[in-house]
Amino acid sequence: MDLNSIYSQLIMEHNKSGHNKRHLPNPDITEKGHNPSCGDDITLELKLNGDIIENASFTGVGCAISQASTSMMIDLIKGITIEEALTLVKTFIGMIKKEIEDEKELEKLQDALVLQNISNMPARVKCAVLAWHTLKEALSDK
């Protein structure tokens, strides 16, 4: 495995910057996600406006991959509809499972595209998908 393809500049930036790591005032949705085998533990907060995700943030602990993946996801979903967000979740998980390989479709994932190679590291897949599963859970009854 090529470390460069995983621990890329982008991941490092997201991991360290923490620009999405904070509490929202009066979030509409708060959803916890955890990964018992790793100890990764995040909480997503979402502010909705109709079916638009107006704002989003997260708190919690985890490895660089789960933290960066969460932060990247939040960058992506701010300002889009719930439906669009759920489609992104599908695309991301499809990418990790190697079920979606269409580059055009994957491009929509923007920064998160760098996590594509995580599928070669089975022990770390769970870290990458945690935030996305949590988001799906959060939006599932909306």
Beta bridge partners of 62: none
Closer residue to another protein, CB minimum distance, 12 or 98: 12
- Longest alpha-carbon distance in the chain: 44
Which residues, numbered 18-77, are part of the site for another protein (CB under 8 A)? 36-41, 61-65
Q: What number of other Cβ atoms are within 10 A of residue 77's Cβ?
A: 22
Cβ of residue 68: shortest distance to another protein, in angstroms? 10
Structure tokens that stand for 43 in this block: 């909480």
- Is residue 12 near another protein by the rule CB under 8 A? yes
Per the listing, tokens 């790591």 go with 21
Which residues, numbered 112-131, are part of the site for another protein (CB under 8 A)? 121-124, 127
Q: 29 with 48: CB under 8 angstroms? A: yes
Binding site residues, another protein, CB under 8 A: 1, 3, 6-7, 12, 15-16, 36-41, 61-65, 121-124, 127
